[in-house]
Structure 1
Amino acid sequence: MFDLFRSRAKAVRILLGGLLLLVALSMVTYLIPGVGYNAGADSLVVAEFGKEVLTLPQVQQIVQAELRSQNIPPQMASILVPQLVNQLITEYVVAYQAEQMGFRVTEQDLARVIRTIFPQLFDGDRFVGREAYAALVAQQNMTIPQFENTLRKQLLVDMLRRMVQESVAISPQDIVREFHYRNDKIKIEYAIVSPVKYQSEVKVSPEEIQNYYNANRQMFRVGEKRSLDILVVDQDKLAQSLVIPDEELRRIYEKNKDAYRVPERVHVRHILLKTTGVAADRIPAIEAKAQSLLKQLRAGADFAALAKKNSEDTASAEKGGDLSWIVRGQTVQAFENAAFSLKPGEISEVIKTEYGFHILQVLERQQAHVQSFQEVKAQIAEEQKAQLLFERMQTVSDQARAALQKEPAAAAKIAADLGLALIRAEKVGPGDALPELGPSPEIMEAASGLRKGEITPVVQIAPTRLAVAVVTEVIPARDAELAEVQERIRQQLVREKTRALVVQRASELYEQAKAAGGDLRKAAHGMGIEVKTSNEFARDGSIEGVGGAGYFAEAFHAQPGQLFSPAAVNDMQVVYKLVAKIAADESELAAQRDSLIQQLRNSRARARVEVFEDSVRQRLIQQGKVKVNQDVINRLVASYRGT
């Protein structure tokens, strides 16, 4: 819906953050039928801002639009709704505060933004007309007054936010601190306590498996499954029975004769020695090599062999220099002149072009002519067969589906009548492999939710295969038997026990290293664990085979020699010790100064705007100028739970 707002100038990018939400608010509520809107009902007011209100139907409309446009799963709506409502309220609060502080949007401001958003409304400096303007905003389901009111509100928000952002100041000390924060490095010694080392020590008894199953039975469900009869329409199989008579092929040829007209052309191969990017004093040597190759060819040397060995046109060199057929205008002029002056079998002199030195040989030559029917018969047949196959596949698959709808139990007969493959899949669910097809999410998704005897739509399961299926049985979801899940439970228990053992061993290593005065190597050696030393790395760096610097963030604030308690890195535990701190060279600060200032300004501006908006919102609520109906918001969120 909002495609026209994309990829515009800076003014539009500034507006986008809140504009789209406010545009959605301004849309007419009939776009979403059945929201149950009873105008004027106090219980439907989400928030009030002076005399302006944000209603429940408006929020419902925005949520629905967001769910559709972002493909947000329905189960996530209860998380999205409070965030979205909070954002909407903040936008309204900021616009209200801006007006109270005396900010105003002039007609010139409004016109400038409209021109940026809709440049097609202007022919140079001339406005093309209100009718075209109304048509454009109507595409957003809005009137001109609604649209312009939305723009005014967002411009107010932008003015106030920009005022707050411009108050941010960056001192020289801030820049130096940020430079060191980003560029200082550390080096550590580290010992990895890995589950691989201790997994063999873990044992799981049958009693533990039984107890786990009893305590977590609800976790082990066998999902609903279906049995399917699947009819497969295979393009290759259909092609075997598809024959196009010669009479039809000749009719197509005669009707489209001009399409088979070919210009004068030559089949040529060449050897290229490049001169592009080569120093001028080297070019004579390259030309001498070309002359030497030509002499060998004149003496009977194999052209293809020399091309493969010497040509620097790598694409054609692999094919013995073969460029296939070329026509006039396809190559540079000097190359063309030589190619079209040679007879079949003749070899050119050394030809100089902007690419280098060429030696050409013409293999075949054809004058301009209309290809004969026999020359293009196979091509016409292939093209027509491809078109007919596409149509035939659609027709046959539709016939198969229609027949299944009439007789769901007659899949075998229908397959035989139409020459289709029949595949029977028994008791399969999402992710299961189907006989002969393997996993087919297309078929399983199409069959999901269907009852016995119901038919899927026709789905494409491969580039050259279509399928339609009938549900022959539905097996309800059920609790899994212990025998079905005991291996899964055993693996889960092994993982849990191994994880606990790794944590225990890492803790033991840390304590032993502390007792040894911080000697990590000594403690690790006693436990049979290897200690490694990292390279120097900054806060945005990483240790190869371990993880990012964030796992060792504490070390950037410590002194060399400090030992650190185990850090959880994926499924490992890492005990580490700071070996060295390497301060960044401040002589490099000047080159980074502008970038550092911009990054600091941006981050501080964002933080300041958030603090400002939160404080304004709380103050206006305390003053009673903004009222938020939390009960309505809670009911709205509750309506999306479990969906």
Structure 2
Amino acid sequence: MLSYMRRNAGSWLIKAMLVGVALSFVIGFGILPTLHEGDPGFVVAEVGDRRITRGQWDAAYENMLKFYQQMYNYPLTQEMVKQMRLRETALDNLITRALEQQEAARLGLQVSDDELQGRIRSLPYFQRNGVFDRDVYLRVLSRNQLTPDAFENDQREQMLLERLHQFVRGAVKVSELELWQNYLLEQEKVDLQFLVFDPTDYRDTARVEEESLRKFFKENEELFRTSERVEISYVRFSPEAYLPRVEVRPEDIEEYYELHLDEFSHPEEVRLRHILLKLEPGAKEDVFEEKRRALQEILEKVRKGEDFSALARAHSEDATAIRGGDLGYVKRGELVPEVESAAFALKPGEVSDIVSSPFGLHILKAEDVRAARQDTLDEVKERIREEIAREKARQLARRKAEEFFWEVKKSGKMEGILLDGEAVPVTSSGLLGPDDPLPNAGREPAVLQAAFGLEKGERSAVVKGERGFYVLEVRERRGPEIPAFEAVREQVEVKYRDSACRDLAKKAAEQALEKLRGGAPLEKIAAPSGKAVQETGFFSRLSGMVPRMGKSDEVVATAFSLSEKDPVPDRVFEVNQKFYVFRLKDRMIPAREEMLAKKESLLEEYRKSKEAEVYRDWLSGLRERSHVKVKVKAL
């Protein structure tokens, strides 16, 4: 299921399956928040009379982390987690949820039992052949470690918050003038001509002298200040080292197989392609009919032998269009009922008639069909043996690390400890910064995090790292310091040369700009240096990227402020460490008739965007008016 979701993260069919995830990640990937009842010292935030505990925050963070790791199919490093601000987001989402709950209660919003049951029965992943199946329902909940009561309480809360969203957004109106102004904002495009001045092109020009280096170092000492560093001694207990010591018995393999039958079952699957023409819920009859006629023409081309994937690339409005409409292998329960019924009725190579679903109109093609089957024990026993061996080795490594820790605690030193009659080797690290690798172990963020939390002479308990279990002792700590010039001379030269090259590139760009504003053509300005005049091609102000330059909100804003009368900006722009001089070449303004031809779909799209903006503003105001007290440095 997860691999399927990863392949189709932008597709229409998984949107219905992310209902449980969309609750601001508070419930994580199918798991409700674990409300640990800590003492008042563990309260991390107060929202009115509600308290958010460290346990709730940790649970929300772990669920969010697990969701991203499963979606992208690899573990996130500490640096990635930091950049994504997952901890801050988890706490912010908990605060938002508490505010919404309080406001819904104040407004007297409620969800009846009948409404709740109707909602659950409509969810496609609890249905068999389009009908709610209680056995499927209980099995799905069990796999996700949920009880019916917990899941139903969560669904009731979700429905309540959806009702709150509807209440806030209900007054949003969009006029035709507002729609045109928004369409103009989105569709107006400009094309720029430019010269680029790259500092790396000036490396041979930049002169480096000893006196200049020393002066640069003196003026920029903070650039070379070291981070806090620690020196540690540590012992690593690697699970791989214990693999030869573990025994996996036949009965272990049989027991694992019996307890994990679902893991080795393969339900019927269809390798599916589709072409989707989207329709908004409640679309008018003329809009529906227009889409149906267009899709019928595509279907006739398919039946005359035209390539399905090429037609999907050209016409499908789904995210899978770039892959020729390929949805990969899908199972029952992963599609909305209307599409599932049609898909699983197809034989390999067959194409469906037009299928209508809540997402629009589809044509389906079955590339292949895999019958349901169960792996036999003989087929998977080696795989199971490896999995059990790895887990036993991991447990043994942890146990040995704990034995070592207690021996160290008794003896008062790490050196000379014997385990199983053998001396345990201790590794010394030398001075390490927060992001440095450990000798013989590589990057271990958890180990260094533990080290920086200890004082000189203190030892850690067992620390779980990415490559094993560790016990460590801090031998030395050094605070940040500015080193002597001689110790960092090479670094100073690199930074000085970079600075000098940057100055030369900027000066050359400013000289070119002065000539351009004086009326000289770009081609003439570029000729002496051999530079090529480049062109961005047309781009919109909402694209976020300037073609062939990169992301720069400043360049975009300036480009759209230029005119035929005043086509050159008054300054040089730096984008991705390069300097740019540019002029407006052309502007493309959409015709109002274009907007009117697509008025209904544009109106619906813009209304939803405006509703979301209104809700964000309302939520921001609610937060400002409410008593929210954050007691940790997370936001």
Report the TM-score range of the alignment, normalised by the length of the smaller protein.
0.5 to 0.7
CA–CA distance in 1 between the matches of 2:421 and 2:236? 15
**Aligned equivalent of 1:533, options 532, 535, 547:** 535
Deviations along 1:151-196, one digit per CA (max 9) or x if unpaired, are: 785365144134224xx2352x666655554445433210112221
Deviations along 1:358-387, one digit per CA (max 9) or x if unpaired, are: xxxxxxxxxxxxxxxxxx9xx999998997
Which residue number in structure 1 is paired with residue 559 of structure 2?
Answer: 555
**Aligned equivalent of 1:509, options 498, 502, 512:** 512
Partners of 2:206 and 2:500 within 8 A in 1: no
CA–CA distance in 1 between the matches of 2:160 and 2:386? 60
Matched, 1:607 2:618: no
Give the counterpart letter for 1:559 in structure 2. S
Alpha-carbon offset, residue 468 of structure 1: 5.4
Which residue number in structure 1 is paired with residue 195 of structure 2?
Answer: 191
**Aligned equivalent of 2:576, options 546, 570, 580:** 570
Partners of 1:447 and 1:469 within 8 A in 2: no
Alpha-carbon offset, residue 577 of structure 1: 0.7
**Aligned equivalent of 1:208, options 203, 216, 225:** 216
Partners of 1:75 and 1:640 within 8 A in 2: no
Q: Pick the structure with greater CA Rg.
A: 1
Query: Aligned runs of 1:624-639 on 2, under 5 Å?
Result: 628-629=626-627, 633=628, 636-637=629-630, 639=631
% of aligned pairs identical? Answer: 13
CA–CA distance in 2 between the matches of 1:104 and 1:388? 52
Which residue number in structure 1 is paired with residue 51 of structure 2?
Answer: 57
User: SS of the residue aligned with 1:546?
Assistant: coil
CA–CA distance in 1 between the matches of 2:23 and 2:466? 39
Alpha-carbon offset, residue 600 of structure 1: 1.6
Give the counterpart letter for 2:49 in structure 1. T
Query: Aligned runs of 1:357-376 on 2, under 5 Å?
Result: none
User: SS of the residue aligned with 1:554?
Assistant: helix
1:185–1:45 distance in 2 versus 1, CA, 3 Å = closer
Which residue number in structure 2 is paired with residue 139 of structure 1?
Answer: 150
Query: Aligned runs of 1:143-542 on 2, under 5 Å?
Result: 150=157, 154=161, 156-165=163-172, 168-171=173-176, 181-199=185-203, 200-201=205-206, 203=208, 204-213=212-221, 219-230=225-236, 238=244, 395=396, 398-399=399-400, 402-403=403-404, 405-406=406-407, 414=418, 417-418=421-422, 422=425, 424-429=427-432, 430-439=434-443, 449=453, 456=462, 461=467, 469-471=470-472, 474-480=475-481, 481-482=483-484, 483-496=486-499, 498-515=501-518, 517=519, 519-525=521-527, 529-539=531-541, 540=543
1:118–1:536 distance in 2 versus 1, CA, 3 Å = closer
User: SS of the residue aligned with 2:613?
Assistant: helix
Give the counterpart letter for 1:57 in structure 2. R
Give the counterpart letter for 2:206 in structure 1. E
TM-score normalized with structure 2 length = 0.53
Give the counterpart letter for 2:427 in structure 1. R
Deviations along 1:258-305, one digit per CA (max 9) or x if unpaired, are: xxxxxxxxxxxxxxxxxxx9x99xxxxxxxxxxxxxxxxxxxxxxxxx
1:109–1:158 distance in 2 versus 1, CA, 3 Å = farther
**Unaligned ranges ≥5, structure 1:** 1-6, 39-43, 48-53, 253-276, 281-354, 356-375, 462-466, 622-626
Give the counterpart letter for 1:552 in structure 2. V
Give the counterpart letter for 1:603 in structure 2. S
CA–CA distance in 2 between the matches of 1:384 and 1:174? 65
CA–CA distance in 2 between the matches of 1:27 and 1:228? 36
Partners of 1:235 and 1:389 within 8 A in 2: no
User: SS of the residue aligned with 1:224?
Assistant: strand
Which residue number in structure 1 is paired with residue 362 of structure 2?
Answer: none
Deviations along 1:489-537, one digit per CA (max 9) or x if unpaired, are: 454454455445544443332222112x263333444666542233344
Matched, 1:641 2:633: yes
User: SS of the residue aligned with 1:547?
Assistant: coil
Give the counterpart letter for 1:606 in structure 2. A
Give the counterpart letter for 1:188 in structure 2. L
CA–CA distance in 2 between the matches of 1:202 and 1:536? 40
1:411–1:549 distance in 2 versus 1, CA, 3 Å = closer
Deviations along 1:311-330, one digit per CA (max 9) or x if unpaired, are: xxxxxxxxxxxxxxxxxxxx
CA RMSD of aligned residues (A): 6.1
User: SS of the residue aligned with 1:188?
Assistant: strand
1:535–1:414 distance in 2 versus 1, CA, 3 Å = same
Partners of 1:194 and 1:573 within 8 A in 2: yes
Give the counterpart letter for 1:224 in structure 2. V
TM-score normalized with structure 1 length = 0.52
Partners of 2:401 and 2:471 within 8 A in 1: no
Alpha-carbon offset, residue 552 of structure 1: 3.3
User: SS of the residue aligned with 2:517?
Assistant: helix
Partners of 2:26 and 2:63 within 8 A in 1: no
CA–CA distance in 2 between the matches of 1:56 and 1:386? 44
Partners of 1:227 and 1:424 within 8 A in 2: yes
1:487–1:10 distance in 2 versus 1, CA, 3 Å = same
Give the counterpart letter for 1:579 in structure 2. K
1:437–1:491 distance in 2 versus 1, CA, 3 Å = same
1:207–1:519 distance in 2 versus 1, CA, 3 Å = same
Give the counterpart letter for 1:641 in structure 2. K
Partners of 2:33 and 2:56 within 8 A in 1: no
Partners of 2:196 and 2:580 within 8 A in 1: yes
Which residue number in structure 2 is paired with residue 255 of structure 1?
Answer: none
Alpha-carbon offset, residue 640 of structure 1: 1.2
1:411–1:580 distance in 2 versus 1, CA, 3 Å = same
Alpha-carbon offset, residue 418 of structure 1: 4.6
Alpha-carbon offset, residue 474 of structure 1: 1.6
**How many residues were matched structurally?**
454
User: SS of the residue aligned with 1:641?
Assistant: coil
User: SS of the residue aligned with 1:640?
Assistant: coil
CA–CA distance in 2 between the matches of 1:18 and 1:594? 30
Partners of 2:235 and 2:472 within 8 A in 1: yes
Deviations along 1:453-498, one digit per CA (max 9) or x if unpaired, are: 656457663xxxxx55554652112343324445444544544554
CA–CA distance in 1 between the matches of 2:386 and 2:34? 51
Partners of 1:12 and 1:117 within 8 A in 2: no
Deviations along 1:365-414, one digit per CA (max 9) or x if unpaired, are: xxxxxxxxxxx9xx999998997798578657745762564257576674
Give the counterpart letter for 1:474 in structure 2. R
Partners of 1:455 and 1:468 within 8 A in 2: no
**Unaligned ranges ≥5, structure 2:** 1-12, 66-80, 136-140, 254-301, 306-366, 368-377
Give the counterpart letter for 1:520 in structure 2. L
Partners of 1:431 and 1:441 within 8 A in 2: yes
User: SS of the residue aligned with 2:572?
Assistant: strand
Partners of 2:231 and 2:476 within 8 A in 1: yes
CA–CA distance in 2 between the matches of 1:227 and 1:606? 54
Partners of 2:238 and 2:469 within 8 A in 1: yes
Alpha-carbon offset, residue 417 of structure 1: 4.3
